Amino acid sequence: MELLILSGAINELRQIVPDFEKFVVLNFG
């Protein structure tokens, strides 16, 4: 359940910050 919430939060942030996915990959990938 938490993973779904986290995924939704990340998707919202990606709309605001285009480089957020890159940030996530660098820090958590």
**14, 20 Cβ separation under 8 angstroms:** yes
pLDDT of residue 16: 80
- DSSP class of residue 19 equals T
Alpha carbon dihedral 6, 9, 16, 28, in 10-degree steps, equals -10
| Residue type at 26 in one-letter notation | L
E strand residue ranges, 1-29: none
Q: Which residue bears the tokens 């990606």?
A: 14
Q: Is the pTM of this model over 0.75?
A: no
Altogether, the residues listed in the chain come to a count of: 29
pLDDT in tens, 3-29: 899 999 888 877 887 777 788 888 887
